[in-house]
Amino acid sequence: MKRTAKPEFLRPPAFAYQCAVRGGAQPALFCESVALERLAASHGTPLYVYSAAMIRERIRAFAHAFRSVPHTLCYSVKANSSLAILRLIARAGAGFDVVSGGELERVLRVDGHAAKRVVFSGVGKTVPEMELALRAGILLFNIESASELEALAETAARVKRQAAIAVRVNPDVSAKTHPYISTGLHEHKFGVPIPEAGTLYSKAAKQPYLRVAGVSVHIGSQITDVSSFAAALERVAGLVRTLRTEGHDIRYVDAGGGLGISYEGAAENFAQRISAYARAVLKPLRRSNVHLLLEPGRSIVGPAGVLLTRVIYRKTNNSRRFLIVDAAMNDLLRPSLYRAYHEIVPVTRSAEDTETTDVVGPICETGDFLARDRELPVVREGDLLAILDTGAYGAVLGSNYNTRGKPAEVLVDGAKARVIRDRESVRDQMRLERL
């Protein structure tokens, strides 16, 4: 067993260790002013907990970093689509990036006037989804193929609603990230090669119900090397100049999203990270005179969430140790899908000794793990663990595998905590089935 120091903080301003009783009990993990132990006792585990303060702070940081140019923050709904989270983001003044009709309906549910701040991305938009977006009056369609352009032109003409469009270009730039979440190379299904984009713009300009309005690019997710953004936007800026020379009125550049977060160690300096990102994006566009659209998701909500789970059993197979917990791959898929790392900490720090262990769930799959070969403080059966940075691509990727209900979700705002999604029961899961 090794010795480890007790941390004084984790993810300020959202998550930090505090002593509930001055000079008394061991430090316990809080979300803002609410003890996570209390939330687990009230609502059970597994349990997602989100910080409203963290989300607001990061939206303000984006606004400050890009204050020198006209811009709209279009939060990527796929990162976390809980209605209460979307309403919080809408009230902070942001717009939305959607990739399905369902996501658009969620946005319209929380803010009926939000459509004018919505961009619709994705390679497989259906005609019913196009109709929904046209009737809602969204800001921009990001077009990804010639066939999609034709379908949108026909749909817009039939419903007699004009559609503003941008072509999503594939700049053939490496995002230097996991291959499953890299989207900017020619081998990927996303976007149109830049040399072919001009043909689509010419076709769009001839359609009476389509209006050429912008250029879009998105090269991937969890990108920490901002030079990838700079390289992509250099190519976009060149295309904007060419298109304007050809007579197209390019008003918008959609720079996509993809800014990564730190999943390991103490709190990152987000102000510095967002400033470096802004410089990388803005420098290639400095004389383009465009309205910039940004599609952050993970960088807004990722560090604002934790997944609470309770240790069910301790187990040893030969020399390998396991902590079997009540959260599983159906609750948090990222470790199994991407071998993604999430820091895991005890909710109450009562031991200085550490051990190397696997943290696994109860699902009948060897791939059901949350961490492998992880050095953690020694915990007992019944203790609570917090899996950090699960606000993005956590609950939204959940499933009912093994007929497990999805966890409840709680939003904390200062000293207030409220359930924003009830725990799912077996009856909920079977409601749409028929014998």
* 408-413 vs 47-51, strand pairing mode: parallel
Average pLDDT over residues 331-344: 95
Distance between CA atoms of 277 and 263, rounded to whole angstroms? 18
| pLDDT > 70 fraction of the chain, expressed in percent and rounded | 91
Distance between CA atoms of 316 and 330, rounded to whole angstroms? 24
Question: How many of the other CB atoms lie within 10 Å of CB of 364?
Answer: 9
Question: How many of the other CB atoms lie within 10 Å of CB of 327?
Answer: 27
271 or 132: which carries more pLDDT confidence?
Answer: 132
Average pLDDT over residues 318-329: 96
| Integer CA distances (angstroms), 241 to 193, 238, 320, 423, in order | 17, 5, 60, 52
Mean residue pLDDT across the chain: 91
Distance between CA atoms of 233 and 282, rounded to whole angstroms? 8
The domain segmentation of the chain, as residue ranges, is 2-51+303-430, 121-296
CB 296 within 8 A of CB 76: yes
Active-site amino acid positions: 364
Indicate if the pLDDT at residue 283 is higher than 70. Answer: yes
The pLDDT value given to residue 3:
46
Residues 58, 169, 157: CA angle, nearest 5 degrees: 100
Residue 168: exposure state from Cβ atoms within 10 A (0-12, 13-18, ≥19): buried
- Give this prediction's pTM: 0.93
Distance between CA atoms of 305 and 297, rounded to whole angstroms? 13
Hey, what are 25's tokens? 């009990």
Sorting pLDDT into bands at 50, 70 and 90, what band is 190? low
Average pLDDT over residues 231-253: 95
The DSSP letter of residue 92 is: T
44-58, 170-184, 189-203: lowest mean pLDDT where? 170-184
Distance between CA atoms of 208 and 157, rounded to whole angstroms? 8
12-21, 194-203, 298-307, 355-364: lowest mean pLDDT where? 12-21
The pLDDT value given to residue 219:
81
What are the φ and ψ backbone dihedral angles of 288, each rounded to 5 degrees?
-90, -20
Average pLDDT over residues 306-317: 97
| Assigned fold of 2-51+303-430 | Lyase, Ornithine Decarboxylase; Chain A, domain 1 (2.40.37)
Sorting pLDDT into bands at 50, 70 and 90, what band is 188? low
The pLDDT value given to residue 191:
74
Average pLDDT over residues 377-387: 97
| pLDDT > 90 fraction of the chain, expressed in percent and rounded | 80
The pLDDT value given to residue 9:
59
CA atoms within 13 A on the CB side of 235: 21
pLDDT digits (tens, 9 = 90+) for 63-78: 999 999 999 999 999 9
pLDDT digits (tens, 9 = 90+) for 129-165: 999 999 999 999 999 999 999 999 999 999 999 999 9
The pLDDT value given to residue 225:
83
Question: In terms of CATH architecture, what is 121-296?
Answer: Alpha-Beta Barrel (3.20)
Distance between CA atoms of 340 and 359, rounded to whole angstroms? 13
224 or 346: which carries more pLDDT confidence?
Answer: 346
Indicate if the pLDDT at residue 272 is higher than 60. Answer: yes
